[in-house]
A and B are shown apart, each in its own frame.
Chain A
Amino acid sequence: MTIQRRDCLAWLSALGLAPHSIAFASTDQAKQAIQTLVGDQTIQTGRVLLDIPPLIENGNSVVMTLRVESPMTEQDHVKSVHVLAEGNPLPHILSAYFTPRSGRAQVMSRVRLAENQRVWAIAQMSNGSFWQGYADTLVTTSACTEER
């Protein structure tokens, strides 16, 4: 049986033993944030490729590559893509805004991931449609850390 870190914090909080606890974003918070972005439109699955290493050495700096399949023409291109994490203190990580002059709807960055979690990428096309992709991650932490 694996104990999720956020469950641990919840139990500790109940016992009044939690350290300066950060309320971690729940899956609900991430879903809420996605809802706000998308409104009442349906989100189609596909075209969005989110590449994060499945096993992460240190959650403080994780290479993330995001690519959306699109011809990137004036008539048909990716307008924006939003990366949201289910298990970070705040769900929003990055939003990238492309133009027909982008050539490729692709962005790479280094992100923070607080714990094992699913990360979502929601893209909006020039025709207003929304597409989604995700990556599941396992975050380990370094051995031998400082007190805080």
Chain B
Amino acid sequence: MSLQTKAMQDDPTLNPATFWIMDGESMWTQKHSPQSPACSECHGQVNTNMKGVSATFPKSVKNRLLNLDGQINQCRTTQQQQPAWPLESKSLLSMSVLIANQSKGMPIVANQQPETQAALKAGEALFKQRMGHVNLSCAQCHDERYGMRLAGSTIPQAHPTAYPIYRLEWQTVGSLQRRLRNCMTAVRAQLFEPDAQEWLQLELYLMWRARGMLIESPGVRP
């Protein structure tokens, strides 16, 4: 990304995602009903107790592979008795941005759970699998050709260190899954279903591949 884009990311008074953090902060202490606890009632202060949390996702929770969005919705439905937030909704993104921001500057933790190893292998296979009309795999661009150019942009290594991101192309904040959909659309591949395991397997592999890299969330990207 350009120097301007990096400057936009690094300064909260320039980064539009700051507004999503503010929305998340409002929601953290919000009670939806007398019986339903606010996030803060179980988790306390977000800026102390959520530190490092997003760096450990995706992970297996009660035998389900969950990413951060999935964990947020798990809390919503089981602890707060509220409906799950739809993917890419303002509410889910704001909460996700808030929590991911608490891990800013911390290294991504490689998942070591034995029960996720199969999913990790599946994710790696997906990353290396040719797909779509264009018949390209993620690896062909992002492992073999990073640094080269595609349609005027420099091909990155594609590490998910900054998600959720404010993408200039979307002019709003979006999730890793949305960004992966853009890639799959670009190679004219049929997208996985929104609740498919493939998204989580890919995310698990990408985070493993980026292990040790520092989280930048919320990032700005072209």
Q: Identify the A interface with B (CB < 8 A).
A: 53, 57-58, 60-61, 63, 140-147
**Docked pose: A53 CA to B179 CA in angstroms:** 26
Q: Is the Cβ of A57 less than 8 Å from the Cβ of B5? A: yes
Of B1, B150, B155, which is within 8 A of A57 by CB?
B1
**Docked pose: A142 CA to B8 CA in angstroms:** 17
Are A142 and B171 also in contact (CB < 8 A) when A53-B4, A57-B222, A147-B185 are? no
User: Is B183 in contact with chain A by the CB < 8 A criterion?
Assistant: yes
Closest-by-CB residue of A relative to B5 is: A57
Shortest CB distance A123–B (Å): 24
Shortest CB distance A143–B (Å): 4
Q: Is the Cβ of B168 less than 8 Å from the Cβ of A146? A: no
Number of interface residues of B (CB under 8 A): 22
Q: Is the Cβ of A53 less than 8 Å from the Cβ of B2? A: yes
Q: Is the Cβ of B169 less than 8 Å from the Cβ of A140? A: no
Residue-by-residue, is B139-157 near A (CB-CB < 8 Å gives 1, otherwise 0)?
Answer: 0000000000011110100
Closest 9 CB pairs of A and B: A140-B152, A144-B186, A58-B222, A58-B168, A143-B151, A57-B222, A143-B150, A61-B168, A144-B182
Shortest CB distance A138–B (Å): 9
B186: chain A residues at CB < 8 Å are 143-145
Closest-by-CB residue of A relative to B166 is: A61
Shortest CB distance A126–B (Å): 32
Shortest CB distance A119–B (Å): 16
Q: Is the Cβ of B151 less than 8 Å from the Cβ of A57? A: no
17 pairs, A vs B, C-beta closer than 8 Å:
A53-B4, A57-B2, A57-B5, A57-B168, A60-B168, A60-B169, A61-B171, A63-B4, A63-B8, A141-B151, A142-B167, A143-B155, A143-B186, A144-B185, A145-B186, A146-B170, A146-B185
Q: Is the interface of A mostly helix, strand, loop or mixed?
A: loop
Cβ < 8 Å to A, chain B residues 171-222: 171, 179, 181-183, 185-186, 222
**Docked pose: A61 CA to B155 CA in angstroms:** 20
Are A142 and B169 also in contact (CB < 8 A) when A57-B222, A58-B222, A147-B185 are? yes
**Docked pose: A2 CA to B102 CA in angstroms:** 47
Shortest CB distance A120–B (Å): 21
Shortest CB distance B48–A (Å): 34
B153: chain A residues at CB < 8 Å are 57, 140, 142-143
**Docked pose: A142 CA to B5 CA in angstroms:** 13
B167: chain A residues at CB < 8 Å are 142
Tell which of A53, A58, A143 has the most Cβ of chain B within 10 Å.
A143
Q: Is the Cβ of A142 less than 8 Å from the Cβ of B222? A: yes
